Structure 1
Amino acid sequence: MQVLWFKRDLRLSDHLPLFEAMRNAKHHGLVLPLYIHEPSQIADAHTARQHQLFVHECLDDLKQQFAQVGGYLHEELGEAVDVLARLHAQFKFTHVWAHQETTQLAQYRRDQAVAAWCKSMGVALHELPQNNVQRATFMVNPFAEKINFQTYLDRAAQEEIKNPAGRNLQAFFAPQPAVELNRATVPLAAGDDKPLRMIGGRAQARAVAAKFFTPAKLRSYPFSISSPLKAWSGCSRLSPYLAYGVVSDREVLQKLNALVNRVHGQGDATHIAKVEDAARFYVDRLIWRQGYLQQLENHTGLETDAFYCDEPAEVNEEFLNAWQQGRTGFAYVDACQRFLQQTGWLNMRARATLVSFACVQLGLPWQPVALFLAQQFLDFEPAIHYGQVRIASGTSHFSQMLVYDPLKQQAEQDPKGEFVKRWLPEHGTANYPAPIVDNAESLKLGKARLHAMRQSRLD
């Protein structure tokens, strides 16, 4: 028997481990699709209730996908090694198939523990690559193909994506274990759900993609991403579905390519050129995503390591609490924080503004800032999150120092005060606090501190 282990890859389409497990069923045995609810991962400080509920919705949808091809998804509760050991004692499976994942340290160590257990039990573990990320141990397989991302993009746009939908694969599945998990027994993640967050599942992802991938939406995309006012409806909003593998990057690229091809058969040359420009702009963001993933793959300590010996270590609890609650007296910052608390989402520039204000102007260490925002972002993807936090806090190796003046951001991104008025109703009343720091002075001191910190590494 073979185990097909799902983690942050909650789909059947473009799922190479699924395809390989099915293809090898004749030689290695029937397939048991498995998802494990792991108490240690649920209790991890990055995980919030909104993430857990989103995953549950994705699992419900995935179960429907399996049912439509004659299969099932088996859920278990426990630590990964313990669950696999329990199943192995019962079924004596010989192979485990999974995606290679570039993720936070707790999950990376879990994957290492599973690999060690498989080796000790003589079970073949197949971790197949995704997102064109090259594992640091790449050279152990000299026959593996290493391609640049542009080549990957070109192929992804053209290659047929394997999708089992519409097929009857019942003969490939192992008999379903008799005991089904009662989700009520799964421990609850910390925090509360967010009232305006996106809903999980493949059907939801397809609806979101269909809404975005139109000529009009794509053309407006480059002009919609900076302001939270426009970004809410102007961005693709596919990030949570990419983060949990509900859709693959290859599927998104093919959607984009199909749209551009359709446009070529319609409209005038000017319209076609604008759609093509917007498509390239969108692809650039996917390239950035892959770059962040590769960065974390190459440097797993991005989540924990201090790059500078004099990074801030002391936490001003008053400042941290005011920032977390959206009570800093800086209206744009506070409105972004309140918006995030309701929706679980912010556009990239607003995220950078929150981090920059907290770390540069309030002098907070990046670690508690990053951890709090990880809990707030529904689309938390460790590589992207920590990569962006380190840049916006000035604690990365990025050569350029990026500091976002909150008053300038408000003037540029919310000139009429519409965003602030909607998400910070107490602004302008006696209940709203005065600014917690002086803007000009805190910017000056923060920039000087960052410059000195960076210079000390060069000296």
Structure 2
Amino acid sequence: MRALWWIKRDFRLDDNPALQAALASCTYLIPAFFLEPRVYLAPDASAFHLQAQLTALADLQSSLRAIGAELLVIKADLPEGFIGLQQQIAFTHIYSHEETGAGITYQRDIAVARWCKQQNIMWYEFPQSGVIRRLRSRDNRSQIIAKRLLDSEPLPPPTHIPQPDIRHLNASVIPPLDALAPELLDKRIHWPSVQVVSERRAQRTLDSFLQERSLRYRGGISSPNKAFLCGSRLSPHIAWGTVSLRRIFFRLHQRLNELEDEQESGVDNLLAQRWQKSLESFSSRLFWRDHFVQRLESASYMEFSALNPAYEALEYTQEPARLAAWINGETGFPLVDACMRCLQATGFLNFRMRAMVVNFACFGLHIHWRDLQYPLARLFTDYEPGIHFSQVQMQAAIVGINTIRVYSPLKQLMDQDPDCQFIKRWVPELRPYSPEQIACHETMPLPGYALAMVNAEHNIRIMKARISHIRSSEPGQESARQVLLKHGSRLKQKGRKTGGASSITTPAINQIDLFGD
């Protein structure tokens, strides 16, 4: 029996359920990755994403060759690519993970499923996270997550993959980004500052975080300056599947046990307690990741429509110039502009700043959340559709079940970048000025830097009034009840223990910060 391991967002050998299931059932297995033009040229795609896949793919290819296997790299949309390959090697089964992606990959998977059924090819999909397909109710979700991620050990990487001779296919070359999609290249990207995504890098990043950098995670991730080092920096690896959540939880549990032993022995007791609190904060964010991805899994329409339909009536200003100024970091609001320029160059920004720029775009600039979600998605190396679409709507305050939260760029500047170190790094026009002058820019413009393009306080008051009106209306309240019933968290107690991992807890319902951390 010949089978394909269809590599999607799981560029790894370690703890890969789809790969292990294929090896347990098939005589021959052929790893295959399809470079799909419809996907990597989609409205939400960018050079950051494609480069992450290409580097992860090259690393995976090296690991496969080390155990005597070859990888097929085929440039073709699907299912057309499967049709051509099936004619050449006559495979009978496909193994892959369950992907919760944007609409374009969702429709692609529907087409692949239809083709497999027509050709009598068996396609098996396996979960690789706590996201549950065809979830009827969230009431039992915690138990399912615990069984998947906490109560079982990670699967070891294979030492051998039996496969037929596929050298005649001449499909092992991984094209460089500039040859594959030159139209995606952006001169603003500073590639040395962009995180490299691969299975080997993921393991090194996890090691350095657990053993060194996580000490300053709690209290450090809110700062756009400190987050580059204090954050886990695992989000791109989780997004592209170069490390599994189960492996992270397993290693996290081991590290927490080490810290408990240190506390019991009395060696550096205060340091161990501080470290433990940081890692528990990180653990909560891992759980919240799947909570938000589950929303897209259960409501695929939210890429195109509000999760709460009452907010479809919310009015925004249709001015393309505002969107362009926001995405290019030219709004005249120093911290907002610095954040957007940082994203343009590095593909990274910590969560608090991500929340602020989306929130400010919707409240301060009156940009429609639907207009900003694709341009913003293109700037994240760690783009995860489920988190992205969920968080855009949440920060736009249109879900209807959370407290209306408005981020003040000035307050965030004073709290998170009081010396304007981050601002001056990314907005060179402001380097000649003092932090005090920069903080007063809205009322006392600075020569050489753009004027604030709107009266933000006025706009925020208007948008809050519009949202509050919908929120207090009968249709708004009824829609909110339905959203809470289907998509709300069931966790009510802070730090509730889950599963067999005694040191790992699920988060309180009001802890909403997650990725970019």
- TM-score normalised by length of structure 2: 0.82
Q: CA deviation at 1:346?
A: 0.6
Q: In structure 1, the residue corresponding to 2:59 is in which secondary structure?
A: helix
For 1:18-29, list aligned pairs within 5 A: 18-25=19-26, 29=27
1:401 maps onto 2:404 in alignment: yes
1:202 maps onto 2:192 in alignment: no
For 1:160-309, list aligned pairs within 5 A: 160-164=153-157, 167=159, 169-170=160-161, 172-181=162-171, 182=173, 183=175, 186-188=180-182, 190-192=184-186, 193-195=189-191, 196-214=193-211, 217-266=213-262, 267-306=267-306, 307=309, 308-309=311-312
User: 1:113-142 deviations in whole A, cap 9, x for unaligned?
Assistant: 101100111111101112122111779xxx
Is the CA contact (8 Å cut-off) linking 1:49 and 1:191 kept in structure 2? Answer: yes
Q: In structure 1, the residue corresponding to 2:169 is in which secondary structure?
A: coil
Q: CA deviation at 1:225?
A: 1.2
RMSD between aligned residues: 2.1
1:382 maps onto 2:385 in alignment: yes
**How many angstroms apart in 1 are the aligned matches of 2:400 and 2:3?**
43
Letter of the 1:219 partner, please give it: L
**How many angstroms apart in 2 are the aligned matches of 1:313 and 1:33?**
47
**How many angstroms apart in 1 are the aligned matches of 2:416 and 2:115?**
52
User: 1:229-265 deviations in whole A, cap 9, x for unaligned?
Assistant: 1111110001001000010111111221121222233
**How many angstroms apart in 2 are the aligned matches of 1:191 and 1:229?**
26
**How many angstroms apart in 2 are the aligned matches of 1:255 and 1:189?**
40
Letter of the 2:104 partner, please give it: A
**How many angstroms apart in 2 are the aligned matches of 1:248 and 1:240?**
12
1:342 maps onto 2:338 in alignment: no
**How many angstroms apart in 1 are the aligned matches of 2:148 and 2:74?**
37
**How many angstroms apart in 1 are the aligned matches of 2:157 and 2:426?**
44
**How many angstroms apart in 1 are the aligned matches of 2:144 and 2:114?**
34
Letter of the 1:18 partner, please give it: L
Query: In the alignment, what sits opposite 1:122?
Result: 120
Q: In structure 2, the residue corresponding to 1:378 is in which secondary structure?
A: coil
Seen in structure 2, the aligned counterparts of structure 1 residues 80 and 194 have a Cα distance that, compared at 3 Å, is farther
Letter of the 1:255 partner, please give it: R
For 1:328-367, list aligned pairs within 5 A: 328-367=331-370
Q: CA deviation at 1:180?
A: 2.7
Query: In the alignment, what sits opposite 1:62?
Result: 60
User: 1:407-439 deviations in whole A, cap 9, x for unaligned?
Assistant: 111111111222112211102452201111123
Q: In structure 1, the residue corresponding to 2:226 is in which secondary structure?
A: helix
**How many angstroms apart in 2 are the aligned matches of 1:452 and 1:39?**
44
**How many angstroms apart in 2 are the aligned matches of 1:439 and 1:411?**
17
Moved more, 86-95 or 62-71: 86-95
Q: In structure 2, the residue corresponding to 1:228 is in which secondary structure?
A: coil
**How many angstroms apart in 2 are the aligned matches of 1:240 and 1:209?**
12
Seen in structure 2, the aligned counterparts of structure 1 residues 156 and 458 have a Cα distance that, compared at 3 Å, is closer
1:152 maps onto 2:145 in alignment: yes
Query: In the alignment, what sits opposite 1:142?
Result: none
- TM-score normalised by length of structure 1: 0.92
Q: In structure 1, the residue corresponding to 2:217 is in which secondary structure?
A: helix
Seen in structure 2, the aligned counterparts of structure 1 residues 154 and 118 have a Cα distance that, compared at 3 Å, is closer
Query: In the alignment, what sits opposite 2:467?
Result: 450
Is the CA contact (8 Å cut-off) linking 1:391 and 1:398 kept in structure 2? Answer: no
For 1:417-456, list aligned pairs within 5 A: 417-427=420-430, 428=433, 430-456=447-473
- Structure 1 moving runs of 4+ over 6 Å: none
Query: In the alignment, what sits opposite 1:143?
Result: none
Query: In the alignment, what sits opposite 2:319?
Result: 316
Q: How many matched pairs? A: 446
Q: In structure 2, the residue corresponding to 1:2 is in which secondary structure?
A: strand
Q: CA deviation at 1:65?
A: 1.1
Is the CA contact (8 Å cut-off) linking 1:74 and 1:177 kept in structure 2? Answer: no
Percent identity of equivalent pairs: 30
Q: In structure 2, the residue corresponding to 1:97 is in which secondary structure?
A: strand
Moved more, 45-54 or 176-185: 176-185
Moved more, 31-40 or 175-184: 175-184
Query: In the alignment, what sits opposite 1:85?
Result: 83
Query: What runs of 5+ residues in structure 1 fail to find an aligned partner?
Result: 140-145
Q: In structure 1, the residue corresponding to 2:218 is in which secondary structure?
A: helix
Letter of the 1:209 partner, please give it: L
Q: In structure 2, the residue corresponding to 1:256 is in which secondary structure?
A: helix
Query: What runs of 5+ residues in structure 2 fail to find an aligned partner?
Result: 434-445, 478-517
**How many angstroms apart in 1 are the aligned matches of 2:108 and 2:416?**
42
Letter of the 1:125 partner, please give it: W
Seen in structure 2, the aligned counterparts of structure 1 residues 222 and 446 have a Cα distance that, compared at 3 Å, is same
**How many angstroms apart in 2 are the aligned matches of 1:6 and 1:189?**
25
Q: CA deviation at 1:303?
A: 0.7
Q: CA deviation at 1:210?
A: 1.8
Q: CA deviation at 1:309?
A: 3.0
Moved more, 148-157 or 216-225: 148-157
Q: CA deviation at 1:150?
A: 5.9
Is the CA contact (8 Å cut-off) linking 1:356 and 1:403 kept in structure 2? Answer: yes
**How many angstroms apart in 2 are the aligned matches of 1:377 and 1:187?**
18
Q: In structure 1, the residue corresponding to 2:34 is in which secondary structure?
A: strand
Seen in structure 2, the aligned counterparts of structure 1 residues 238 and 434 have a Cα distance that, compared at 3 Å, is same
User: 1:373-428 deviations in whole A, cap 9, x for unaligned?
Assistant: 10001100000111111011122243321211111111111112221122111024
